[in-house]
Structure 1
Amino acid sequence: MIKDLTIVVDGVGRRAAPYGITLAAMLEATVSAVSVLPLVPFQTFAQSEIRYDLVVAAEQDAREQAAAAVEAVAKAAREAGIPCETSAICTSAPLAPLRLAGFVHLSDLAVIEQADEAAPKPADAYLDTLLFQGARPVLMVPYNQLAPPRFSCAVVAWDGSAPAARALGDALPLLRRMARVELVSVTDEPVPEATRRRAIRHLARHGIEATVEVIPGGVPVGEALLSHVSDRGADLLVMGAYGHSRLREAILGGTSRTILASMTVPVLMSR
């Protein structure tokens, strides 16, 4: 069950909070709003010969911005009747990601807005931290997402790997609410009928009616998945996060650039 939902905000992004709050209402979950704004080390200012009072003022501005970001979420949550806790992480840049990872360890799901290369924002820097150190599933909301959460169709990227299995398991609370669930493999190899039946039986035991779909290879996996999501009118894409390198080289054998840049629906990722 998803009962403790963390929303990562920065005062710039505008999509994660409303989507996460509405989702929390549907799931009868509590929201934790966390803002991460790393402080510039004093040594950096010292080397630039910037006055100490300006350093103090810059740090105070960062703390106030972080506090305002989470308070905005708390206000929206209260208006929606959702319990909300707030936390502002303001510490040195090397420690900030570790603090965030530790925070989401005690959460069921982390929600963050998709990075926009055309308009970077502070929270963009923490997606790989959430995936590879947070140890919890991450739901990315498109930066142009206007629609509230819907549960008509979910596409699950499935290749039989451990990350794909983890993502499937983490997504079960959401998949149970879907009218239609598709396990999708992008491959030129035939999927054994026994494997199809077992996958369908496994999800049926969780009250989920699912089908297994195979997309022929020959096109990049990311493009194939996004095209299928569009064709099906899906509301959610579920996929595993792979590897130990940085995110853009690590998901589904290198399809992350396509998925992260071109996603049109929320994407739940797990590792």
Structure 2
Amino acid sequence: MGYKTLLVHLDDSARRDTRLALALDLAGRFEAHLIGLYLPMPYPNAPVTGGAPALERREQAQAAFLEAGMHAGCRVEWRAPQPGDTATAVLHARHADLLVLGQHERGDHPIDLSSGFVTDLLMTAARPAIVVPHSGAFPTIAENILIAWDGGREAARAASDALPLLRRANCVSIEVVAARDGAKRLRAEEEAADAAAWLDLHDVSASFHESAREPGVRTSTALLGRASDLRADLIVAGAYAHSRIHERVLGGVTRNLLEAMTVPVLMSH
């Protein structure tokens, strides 16, 4: 089991090369076909930035993508569909096994999530996505993986979608953030042990750990702290959302992870 087709979102932002390097690394590991989806402005109301004309920017992005793919020895495919909007991105994303997207950075219009680009892909494309932070370097990816586990449907889906990476990782840890004591804490311990046993059947050896939920401390903060302690280079987490009429509202932990992530996060819904 592996990923046969990957899709990386390309734009004109400074972080494009970071996402592309990570995607090429993964494509090389799995001998996968890599699609570069160029959508520089998936937000209809985003202002046009200065610099080179749109056609010139697109040609530069295409040349850089094809050259990087050639140097990496990967099979790559360039796509620059019109219209370049979120709905188009969702359609292309559904034909890939794994997406590589970028975390938003407020004020950076090409990857600003205020219009719901990453949210829409996570919630509607039915594909797992690795979201890359808007800052920092990531010399390794998916060698030391932390799984955020709460026993829910989304967490189970994310862990299942991450199995190809989990099998190749050097270290896998399961983290459960639960109540300090009582029945909920005991249940959390059982869920972590059950998750580790399930992974063992898939040839993944994982340790598990339970953290007590501290008053005033967000679950996402606890998870990021644990990832830092373990020096994890990838977090696997379910993407939760609340259903409201005419809008998609991310759950608190999901939203906070997307806002404050310090390492790439694989999310699935």
Report the TM-score, using the length of structure 1 for normalisation: 0.83
- 205 and 39 in structure 1: CA distance in 2 versus 1, 3 angstrom threshold: closer
Q: Which residue of 1 aligns with 2:65?
A: 73
Are the aligned partners of 1:9 and 1:35 in contact in 2 as well (CA < 8 Å)?
Answer: yes
Q: Could you tell me how far apart the structure 2 residues matched to 1:38 and 1:91 are?
A: 10
Cross-structure match for 2:20: 17
Specify every segment of 5 or more residues in structure 1 that has no aligned partner in the other structure, as ranges: 45-57
| Partner residue of 1:216 out of 202, 212, 218 | 212
Amino acid at match of 1:207: D
Give the residue type in structure 2 aligned to 1:250: L
Query: What is the deviation of 1:124?
Result: 3.2
Aligned to 1:260: 258
Q: Which letter maps to 1:234?
A: A
Question: Structure 2 unaligned runs (5+)?
Answer: none
Contact 1:21 1:31 in 2 (8 A): yes
Is the 1:37–1:90 contact (alpha carbons within 8 Å) kept by the matching residues of 2? Answer: no
Identity between Structure 1 and Structure 2 (%): 32
Change (3 A) 1:90 1:62: farther
| Alpha-carbon displacement from aligned partner over 1:42-83 (angstroms, at most 9, x marks no partner) | xx9xxxxxxxxxxxxx9x943543343244222201111101
Instruction: Give 1:150's aligned residue.
Output: 141
- Structure 2 matches for 1:131-146, cutoff 5 A? 131-146=122-137
Cα 1:134/1:64, change in 2 over 3 Å: farther
Aligned partners of 2:195, 2:255: CA distance in 1, in Å?
28
Q: CA RMSD in A?
A: 2.5
- Alpha-carbon offset, residue 257 of structure 1: 4.4
Correspondence list, 1:104-253, <5 A: 104-117=93-106, 119-125=107-113, 126-188=117-179, 189-192=184-187, 194-218=190-214, 219-243=217-241, 244=243, 249-251=249-251
- Code of the aligned partner of 2:37: V
Match of residue 3 from structure 1: 4
Q: Identify which range, 176-185 or 165-174, moves more after superposition.
A: 176-185
Which amino acid in 2 is paired with 1:210?
A
Bigger radius of gyration among the two: 1
What corresponds to 1:51 in structure 2? none
Distance across 2 between alignment mates of 1:70 and 1:121:
20
SS of structure 2 residue aligned to 1:32: strand
C-alpha deviation, 1:167, in angstroms: 0.5
